[in-house]
Structure formats: structure tokens, C-alpha cells
Amino acid sequence: MFVILDVITLGDALISMYPMKEGALRFCPQFERKAGGAELNFAIGCARLGLKPGWISKLGNDDFGRYIFSFARGEGVDVTHVGFVNNYSTSVYFREVLTDGASKSFYYRENSPTEALSEANFESAYFKEAKVFHVTGVFPSIHRRNQELVQHAIQLAKNNGLLISFDPNIRLKMWTMEEAKSFTESILPDVDILLAGEEEAEMLLGKMPVYDYIAKFHQYGVKQVVIKRSAEGAVGSDQQTIFDAAPFKPRAVVDTVGAGDGFDAGFISALLKGRSFEQALRFANAVGSMVVSVKGDNEGLPYYEEVQAVLGELELVDR
């Protein structure tokens, strides 16, 4: 028997070693163990915003893998399609965080447990009742075969009537620009919702005005295009109207990692809860601004009521 889900995502998760002091990595003697990964962050963000997310993945059969599994399950993510595998260590990465919230990532994810995934791990019944299948460019960058798995999963999702949401999330430490561009172009005709950062749009299409990015992506057949512009908000189009959503000023910028994942979760959650495209842009901007004010990969992902308060839709009593 399968649970009824709102969204499903596919991807790697890893232990995030968060520095206990700001500055260059070589001068940080202590780190705090956390859980991270773009797709996991997205799933957690959706759960906190009131959706029922499912996550497909593999973890190492070790204590780090068991920690991530328990953490995701505790956050309300369905982990019935997350398995443990022997002979693979759960991936790890170290964070370097500077005083302005900017950071660098140092990955140790060779021989990722997700290499044990195969087409047999994707069951049609799991997708049957869901509404959105969300993928990012991170998982296909880990191993060449993952690209074929993503394409297979996309077709399975489309056959079951799901919308396909895609965040390019280009990590040039993981693959070349040519590989990222080739893969992105191969799946764009199947993408319904594109959630790309402005820098990623430039990588994929070359430098041009933001409205031209939107037009180019529509030409691939993408129905809803969103360009995330960080501190400048977001611009998006539903093929009929272009919307320019102003940013929300965060309380402080202490850690920018996870803001894009939070934006994605905010946008998808808002759409599935019945908000208009324009309202979803504004909602997602609010979520992104809240994420950057908290240290950690997903600690700043808010609950639905907290976003409503930022939007002025709800008054929360703090004392």
C-alpha cells in the first residue's frame, strides 16, 4: 500500500559538516554534523509548508546514513523508497562560511550510495497519486548513469500525470558546463516548471536581459518559468503574463545555502495550495528570505504559518 503524496523528489543526501567558526576552512578546527542535500532540503521545505513529500534515494548502511534517514522521516518526509546499501559510504561535505553569509562547499561524495539506484527502484504506483515530480541538476551530476535514471523517472512521472519541476542547480565542482548544458537541454521539453537562478540561466543561455531568458526557456516548451534573482527577488512567466516579484528583506544574511531549495519548496507549495502564479512568486521570495537568516542547510526552512506572518496574512503571538 502506497501513501498519497503531493510531491516526489529524487536525489542524493549527505552529511553537512558545518564550521563552528567563520572563515577559511583550514582555520576551522571544529564542525557540527548536520544533514543536507538539495533534494532533501526541498522535501523538508515542502513538509514544513504543509505538503506530503516523498523522497527516492539510497544511503550508506552506516550511522551517517541512519542519521539522515531518521532526520528526514522525523521532518515528515516519506522515506519508504529510501534504502540502505552496503559497500558505499554515506556522502559528506564540508562547509566554509564567511562573515557575509557566503560559503564554499568541499564535497566527498565519490562512490555515492545513489549509484546503487536502478530503474527497478521507480515504481509506477508510487507516482500515481502525486502531483509534482521535482528534480535538480545535482543528482545527474554525481554519476553519468544518474542522467538516464532522471530521464526514466521523468517519463514515469509524466505517464502518471505529474507536473515536472526542475531546478538546474548547476555545481561546476561536480560536472562540466558542457555536461550540465547538454543534460538540461535534453529534459527541458518535458519540464513544466523551471526554477532557475539568474546566474544559471546565464550559464545555460549566455548573458542577456532577464526577460529574454524567460522567452528562451518558453521556446523549449516550458510552461512556467521562474528566474530567481537572490536579493533582487524573482521574475516569472506563466506564458501569458510576466511577473516581477519584489524581494523580502531578511532579518540578517548569515548563510545563503539552502535559500534556492527553500524558494523551490515555497513556490511549489504555494501553487499546490491554490495560490496564483504571482502569489506563488511572492510566497517563494518570502521563504528564501527566511532561510538566509538562519545557519545551516535546512534549519531556516519555515513552517506555513511563519510565512503567512511575513506576508501579513496572519499574526503570530510570540509571547
261, 264, 297, 318: which one is catalytic?
Answer: 261
Whether 261 is catalytic is: yes
- Residue type for position 248: F
Query: Nearest Cα to 175, choosing from 206, 138, 214, 229?
Result: 138
Residues noted as catalytic: 261
